[in-house]
């Protein structure tokens, strides 16, 4: 079970047409950095990571002070786990535009994920200082505070993000995790359900809701939630491991073993699944 930290891609235009639109437009406006930036965004959305990077670089080549392209290139590198490259791009975007709250938020996200909690907090606060009505850095602050054991501060940040954007699913999920840690199970369940209501394709709250049900002995409900998480993301190793745990508790050892094996097939480094499978095989 994990928090979700938000990344913000910036676009120059408000078009929502597919890749072909931007590719066609480039034939008529080959010197437009905005078109390259937006085409890169579309490539990124369709999994064409290297193509996206090439287009962002082209946008920057044409317009060296294109802060959005640097920010978005940072996101592309982040998604490829090239964190140092991503950090460099976010910092370049901020150098060009010191009031670029989105780049600050994205930089904070990497700092948090790489254990630089105090730096992440400082950068989130900077993003909020620039744009107090920007919900995402409040959500990211909640992540950092939760991981530092500062539950009350985490709750306050989740609630602030929700106040700004009531339709933002992630802080509801994060609030559920904090409540679960505080043994407020019913409150946690309510928050996970709210996150799912807002975004039925958001996988984490299904897994987390399954965990909450499991902890109060509702194993069938837990299994249903883990299966839903796997339906949305068939490569969700943690959900398979948790599903195996629920099966094992119900005495369904063969089903449990199959779930643990699937978790290990997806992620051979899944230590919990390995221990659980060893336990069954003893």
Digitized pLDDT (tens) for each residue of the chain, 282 residues in all:
344 455 555 545 444 457 666 666 666 566 677 777 777 788 888 888 898 899 899 889 999 999 999 999 999 999 899 999 999 999 999 999 999 999 999 999 999 889 899 999 999 999 999 999 999 999 999 999 998 999 999 999 999 999 999 999 999 999 999 999 999 999 999 999 999 999 999 999 999 999 999 999 999 999 999 999 999 999 999 999 999 999 999 999 999 999 999 999 999 998 888 898 888 877
DSSP 8-state assignment for residue 109:
H
Query: ∠ at Cα 57 (82, 52), nearest 5°?
Result: 65
DSSP code for 12 = S
What number does CATH give the domain 1-98? Answer: 1.25.40.10
Listed residue (51, 31, 33) closest to 42, CA to CA: 51
The residue ranges of every structural domain in the chain are 1-98, 124-202, 205-282
Architecture of the domain made up of 205-282: Alpha Horseshoe (1.25)
Q: Nearest CA to 263 among 280, 278, 279, 243?
A: 243
Rounded to whole angstroms, the Cα distance separating 70 from 67 reads 5
Q: Contact at 8 Å (CB) between 252 and 228?
A: no
Q: What is the pTM of this model?
A: 0.84
C-alpha gyration radius of the chain: 21
Whether 124-202 shares its CATH topology with 205-282 is answered yes
Distances (CA, A) of 24 to 18, 28, 63, 136, 281: 10, 7, 21, 34, 58
To the nearest 10 degrees (0 to 180), the angle between helices 49-62 and 67-79 is: 160
Q: Are 146 and 117 in contact (CB under 8 A)?
A: no
- The fold of the 124-202 domain, in CATH, is 1.25.40
Q: What angle do CA 230, 232, 235 make, to 5 degrees?
A: 50
């Amino acid at each position: 079970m994990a928090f979700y930290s938000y990344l913000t891609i910036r676009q120059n235009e408000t078009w929502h047409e597919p890749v072909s639109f931007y590719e066609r437009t480039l034939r008529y406006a080959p010197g437009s950095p905005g078109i390259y930036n937006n085409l890169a965004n579309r490539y990124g959305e369709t999994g064409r990571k290297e193509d996206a990077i090439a287009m962002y670089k082209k946008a920057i080549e044409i317009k060296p002070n294109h802060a959005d392209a640097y920010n978005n290139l940072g996101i592309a590198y982040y998604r490829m786990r090239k964190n140092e490259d991503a950090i460099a791009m976010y910092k370049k975007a901020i150098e060009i535009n010191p009031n670029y709250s989105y780049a600050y938020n994205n930089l904070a996200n990497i700092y948090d994920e790489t254990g630089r909690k105090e730096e992440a907090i400082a950068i989130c606060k900077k993003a909020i200082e620039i744009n107090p009505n920007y919900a995402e850095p409040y959500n990211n602050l909640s992540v950092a505070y939760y991981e530092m054991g500062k539950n009350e501060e985490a709750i306050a940040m989740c609630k602030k993000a929700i106040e700004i954007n009531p339709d933002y699913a992630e802080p509801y999920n994060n609030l559920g995790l904090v409540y679960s840690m505080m043994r407020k199970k019913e409150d946690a369940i309510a928050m996970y359900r709210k996150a799912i209501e807002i975004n039925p394709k958001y996988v984490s709250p299904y897994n987390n809701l399954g965990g909450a049900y499991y902890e109060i002995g509702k194993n069938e409900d837990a299994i249903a939630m883990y299966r839903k998480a796997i339906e949305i993301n068939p490569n969700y190793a943690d959900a398979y491991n948790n599903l195996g745990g629920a099966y094992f508790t119900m005495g369904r050892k063969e089903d449990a073993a199959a779930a643990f094996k699937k978790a290990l097939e997806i992620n051979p480094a899944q230590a919990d699944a390995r221990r659980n499978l060893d336990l069954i095989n003893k």
